[in-house]
Amino acid sequence: MDLTPHPLQTNGPEIVLASGSAIRRHLLTQAGLRFTARAVAVDEVALRDAAQAEGASGEEAALMLAEAKAMRVRDPDAVVIGADQILVEGERWLSKPDDLAAARAQLWSLRGKTHCLATAVAVRRGGVTIWTHVESPLLTMRRFSEGFLDAYLEAEGHQILSSVGCYRLEGMGVHLFDRVEGSFASVLGLPLMPLLGFLRQHGVLLP
């Protein structure tokens, strides 16, 4: 990662993104932040299933996972950012599909319905969580045809398996939807504007 100084960033603490997500790295890079990214090992399925069994909401579970990721970076001086996202449709919490057949079934099940992307970010420093934020964009899929779905899956291929919703809204996934309510960055997996606001308040970015 390029750590050259950025004109809007102070000489304050190092920023660490506790994630291997390419799109989250892209969002921070496009905003001009100087940071390092560290992929962390968290048993997301077990934590999510436990949260759901305990009656947690999708937002609560996403925040729990975001904090768990940030906790895996043991650097007391750094500002550590963890983020996570859970797709909620009715009573269902959907996970990333294992293959394109599962992706097809999942997309068809979401056709014509509105789902929520519970998107959380947690910031830790010195071994404690110092800030959290959750947003819940709502996305309504149109009643697309089976022919469209087949063409979409062929065009996008296995790259959509990295997305819980099986779509890249920044790419061809936009064709799946009639309506999107919420910030674009949050749909992609990181509530960017609130995060930047906190980093300014914390002295990491210029006010």
Q: Where in the sequence numbering do the catalytic residues fall?
A: 84
CA distance 131 to 180: 27
Of the candidates 147, 133, 150, 148, the residue with the CA atom closest to the CA atom of residue 192: 133
Q: Is 104:153 a contact under the CB 8 Å cutoff?
A: yes
Tokens of 113: 């319905």
Q: At what angle do helices 146-156 and 100-110 cross, to 10 degrees?
A: 140
Tokens of 38: 């560290």
Q: Is 44:65 a contact under the CB 8 Å cutoff?
A: yes
| Vertex 132: Cα angle to 55 and 192 (nearest 5) | 115
Number of Cβ within a 10 Å radius of residue 127? 10
Contacts of residue 150, Cβ cutoff 8 Å, sequence gap at least 6 = none
The tokens 């309506």 sit on which residue? Answer: 179
Q: Say whether 166 sits in a helix, a strand or coil.
A: coil
